[in-house]
Structure 1
Amino acid sequence: MSNADDGNDGQAAERVVIRDRRKIDPNAKGSAAAAAKDKEPTGGGAHRAPGQDDDDLAAIGLGAELEALRTELDERTRDLQRVTAEYANYRKRVDRDRGAAAEQTIGSVLTGLLPVLDDLDRAREHGDLVGPFATVAEALTAALGKYGLVAFGEKGDPFDPTRHEAVAHQMSADVTEPTCIEVMRRGYLLGDRLLRAALVAVADPA
């Protein structure tokens, strides 16, 4: 029994000793932590400049979004202004065309009534335009005048080749310029538009 104890004591006495001769840098742990911190991704993938925090990055993102919205608003405003201008031009063109068509239609109707007015003028010259017939004639003339019909051509008017059609000429010492000395048929205007020229006899200065 004592031998066994001696054997166990001998084994217990033998110890394995491991010595690490590497040198430990006390700053290595801090450098590794700093390197790991630098490798950490920032939120949203935004590049963080020195001295910027999360609030600065958020403000930059909002500014870019606001600028994009302003650009889009400017484009929509220009589109709206262009459409508004096109519509205004369209309305003006339609109104102008409608007015021209209405004037042409009225002119055609009035031109068809001019022979009736010529008959009324001849009846007036011969003294036949009296009584109820005269009243009807005046009412007709007033109604046509509301549409812009204006008669012209009176004895003594200066001769205007753009409005008068000369069917006779003579010399006269009583005039200083070409003058209408007789009106065979009166002319008519519709506003500024000439419906029919007046037929006149013209006296030229001697």
Structure 2
Amino acid sequence: MSSSSERRNGDKPPREPISITDKRRVDPDTGRVREHTPSQPVTPTPQREPQPTTPDAEMHPGDRADRAAREHPDRVAELTADLQRVQAEYTNYRRRIERDRHAAVEATTASVAARFLGILDDLDRAREHGDLETEPLRAIAAKLDAILTGLGVAAFGEEGDRFDPTLHEAVQHEGAGGDPVVGRVLRRGYTFGDRKVLRTATVTVVEGPASPGNVMGTAPVDAS
């Protein structure tokens, strides 16, 4: 029996004793806070040494900028040129936007005004027949003329005006001279804003005798 028991004990190594460490800060028996033990060393907080004060740190930001400008004049000139270029581009951009906006407003106004030209033609025919001498057409015509004039619309085309092919559409020619003028206005033309032609005037053309020296570009002959 003893030999078999010793053989069984020889098969397993002896166990190490179990060590239990109580890490609770409060003692359950006394209720007091325990002191730090060597198993729980306290690492002291390192103290930061004061940094030495440099002359640059005590300078005003404006003084530092002046100093940097003196030390790097080429860089300052480069940045100044970049800033001026950006400002010029922004100014040109604003002008272009304003110009485009103004052009869009003018185009819209001209398109709306052109829709009233047929009504103005009817009023012109009524005026020729004397229908605008009495109310209410006279008041309506006056109000419409005031509105279109305020928008920048102006009528043109009168008898005796010098014929201009960019402003007048000739449907009939009379005479064979070299000084064409408007004979009769069949339909008035209209401009908008800075002389933008909304519609040319439909007219007849009378060509009177050319002035001496203006025929074929020759000078008058001295009879003496």
- TM-score for both structures, normalised by structure 1: 0.64
Structure 1 residues 167 and 105: alpha-carbon distance in aligned structure 2, compared to 1, 3 A threshold: same
Question: 2:179 touches 2:208 (CA, 8 Å); kept in 1?
Answer: yes
Q: Which residue of 1 aligns with 2:185?
A: 183
Aligned mates of 1:131, 1:176 — CA distance in 2: 45
Pair 1:134 & 2:133 matched: no
Q: 1:83 aligns with which of 86, 106, 119?
A: 86
Letter in 1 for 2:184: E
Letter in 2 for 1:125: E
Query: What displacement does 1:143 show?
Result: 1.0
Letter in 2 for 1:122: R
Aligned mates of 1:142, 1:205 — CA distance in 2: 37
Secondary structure at 2:158 match in 1: coil
Pair 1:158 & 2:183 matched: no
Q: Which residue of 1 aligns with 2:122?
A: 119
Query: What displacement does 1:80 show?
Result: 1.3
Secondary structure at 1:161 match in 2: coil
Question: 2:69 touches 2:76 (CA, 8 Å); kept in 1?
Answer: no
Percent identity (aligned): 50
Q: 2:196 aligns with which of 193, 196, 203?
A: 193
Pair 1:68 & 2:36 matched: no
Query: What displacement does 1:195 show?
Result: 0.7
Q: Which residue of 1 aligns with 2:174?
A: 170
Letter in 2 for 1:155: E
Q: Which residue of 2 aligns with 1:10?
A: none
Secondary structure at 1:119 match in 2: helix
Structure 1 residues 67 and 204: alpha-carbon distance in aligned structure 2, compared to 1, 3 A threshold: same
Q: Which residue of 2 aligns with 1:50?
A: none
- TM-score for both structures, normalised by structure 2: 0.59
Q: Which residue of 2 aligns with 1:147?
A: 151
Aligned mates of 2:126, 2:120 — CA distance in 1: 10
Which structure 2 segments of 5+ residues have no match? 1-66, 210-224
Query: What displacement does 1:65 show?
Result: 5.5
Letter in 2 for 1:109: V
Question: 2:173 touches 2:206 (CA, 8 Å); kept in 1?
Answer: yes
Aligned mates of 1:125, 1:109 — CA distance in 2: 26
Secondary structure at 2:131 match in 1: coil
Letter in 2 for 1:188: Y
Aligned mates of 2:125, 2:165 — CA distance in 1: 24
Secondary structure at 2:164 match in 1: coil
Which structure 1 segments of 5+ residues have no match? 1-63
Larger helix proportion of the pair = 1
Query: What displacement does 1:135 show?
Result: 1.3
Structure 1 residues 114 and 66: alpha-carbon distance in aligned structure 2, compared to 1, 3 A threshold: closer
Query: What displacement does 1:92 show?
Result: 0.9
